Every structure is written in C-alpha cells, then in structure tokens.
Amino acid sequence: MKSLYIFLLAAAVLLAGCDPVASDDRFIEVPAATVQRNVLIEDFTGQRCIFCPDASDAIAQLQARYSDDKLIAVAIHAGPLALKSKSGFTGLRTDVGDAYYKKWAVPNVPKAIINRRGGVFSKEAWAGRVYDEFARTTTVGIDLKCQYDADKRRVEIETDLKTLSEDVQGRLQFWLVEDGVVAPQLFPGDELDKEYTHNHVLRAAINGDWGTELTLTTKNVQKEKTTYTLPDGIVPDRAWVVAFFYNDSGVLQAVRQKISLS
C-alpha cells in the first residue's frame, strides 16, 4: 500500500510539471483515409427494347434505396434497338452511346455496367453489384459546381478533385444528362407509348468521348474549368452534368449537379 501511495504521488508531481495544453489542442483530428463513395450505373437501353422500361423501373427502385445522388444512373441509348432523331420523330440514340456500346461489347439491351467493373450485367445482377460497389472504399473526391447563363445557354463547370492516400492517374469525364424527355417507347406485345417519359438520358459527352487525362496528387487539389453551350432542344431545368473519374480499375468517384436551379 505504501509503495502504491509513493507511485501515485510521483505521478501527480510529473503531471504537475507538464506544460499546460488548451483543451482544444489536446487532440489532433486525423483526416479520413476514404471519402463517401457514389456509384455510377450505365444503363444500356433502346426505344425499341420492350424489356427496357422494366429495367428502368428496377434502377428507380435501387435509387429509392440509396438516393439519386449516390446511385447515379445514366441511360445510354445505343445499339440496334435504339433510334436516332429524324424529322417528326424524337430519337435518343447518340454516336457517343454507340461508341460505348461497341467498347464494352454489349451483347443486347437492357444491360448495365456498374462503376465500370466486372463487365456487362443483366438486370437480375444489378442489385447485388450495386451493393458490392457501395461496400468498396475510395480515396478520390470530386466537388462539382455549375453556373448557368440563360441568355447564352452556356454553363460554366468547375471541379475540385482530390486524392487522400496516394497519387492516381485516370480520366475526368463530363456528361450532359437530361430528365423528363418525352419520346416513344415500345413495350411488350408491341404496345407503343408515344409519350413515354425517359429519365437520365445521355445527351452528349462534354469533354470528349473518353474525358480528360489527369494525375491527382495528395499534395494539391486538382482544379478544372470547362465552358459548355447546351445543344438546341435541351431543357436547362431538366439537365444535369454528371462527372466521374475513372481508370483501368473502374470508376473511382462520380457526382452530378443540376445545370439550372430556376
């Protein structure tokens, strides 16, 4: 008991001799090694695909679970069941969509690529793959801002990209995506809905089909600025910029931002 008393007394003396430290300075916050991951699902679809509306509903159910901003969906109209616009007809097929369709060797629609990892998946596998991707960590963060000039139909896109743990090479991709596009869609039984509402439709690749090559470093925040004029027919209030950073290992981060908030 006497030795314990001497030990406690000595400890008290040592503590009394320490330099006083303000309570706010006693703990140094260590930055998180990862950031919140969002997941990109590229939905290959077509207006003549009778099973594609059901696939679109499946994505909507997943977004209801995770939120639209965390599970970012882009409908890519491409392949033989997709249709291009012509006089008197609204088609949603694009050349860039066909380039992706060919690149990923999509066999038919509906199919999806999720974070550009694991290949092309049928609808039955989407929920599990999305769950797995949310469980993965990422060190890449993207802050995306859009400023829209209605008179010039021009949007200023600003991004701040960072990596927390190691330098990483990849590409930054900007896409123009539009909601609420009314256009024909075929359903089972060859039933045609002439006023079907298509959402998150890929309209254009803003900075080229494959984006801009970048190297992110832990020392600096990578700042990128892009000016883009909306094509005729795009409704600004329904348009979004989707930005994602990817490399051979897949999509490391994805975000989206409304072009016009009016």
Residue 112 pairs in a beta bridge with: 43, 121
CA 113, CA 133: separation in Å to the nearest integer?
12
CA 144, CA 158: separation in Å to the nearest integer?
6
CA 80, CA 10: separation in Å to the nearest integer?
84
Name the amino acid, one letter, at 179.
D
Instruction: Collect all residues with Cβ–Cβ distance below 8 Å to 39 and sequence separation of at least 6.
Output: 66, 70, 71, 72, 114, 115, 130, 133, 134, 251, 254
- Can you give the three-state secondary structure of the chain, one letter per residue? CHHHHHHHHHHHHHHHCCCCCCHHHCCCCCCCCCECCCEEEEEEECCCCCCHHHHHHHHHHHHHHHCCCCEEEEEEECCCCCCCCECCECCCCCHHHHHHHHHCCCCCCCEEEECCCCCCECHHHHHHHHHHHHHCCECEEEEEEEEEECCCCEEEEEEEEEECCCCEEEEEEEEEEECCEEEEEEEHHHEEEEEEEECCEEEEECCCCCCEEEEECCCCCEEEEEEEECCCCCCHHHEEEEEEEEECCEEEEEEEEECCCC
The model's pTM = 0.87
CA 14, CA 91: separation in Å to the nearest integer?
79
pLDDT single digits (tens) 207-259: 999 999 999 999 999 999 999 999 999 999 999 999 999 999 999 999 999 99
pLDDT single digits (tens) 17-30: 333 434 343 333 44
| CA–CA–CA angle 242, 137, 58 (5° rounding) | 55
Token duo for residue 3:
């030795």
Give the homologous superfamily in CATH for domain 32-139+172-207+233-256: Glutaredoxin (3.40.30.10)
**CA-based nearest residue to 225, from 163, 156, 166:** 156
Q: At what angle do helices 126-135 and 52-66 cross, to 10 degrees?
A: 30
Q: Return per-residue pLDDT of the chain as tens, 262 residues.
A: 444 444 444 444 333 333 343 434 333 344 455 778 999 999 999 999 999 999 999 999 999 999 999 999 999 999 999 999 999 999 999 999 999 999 999 999 999 999 999 999 999 999 999 999 999 999 999 999 999 999 999 999 999 999 998 999 999 999 999 999 999 999 999 999 999 999 999 999 999 999 999 999 999 999 999 999 999 999 999 999 999 999 999 999 999 999 987 5
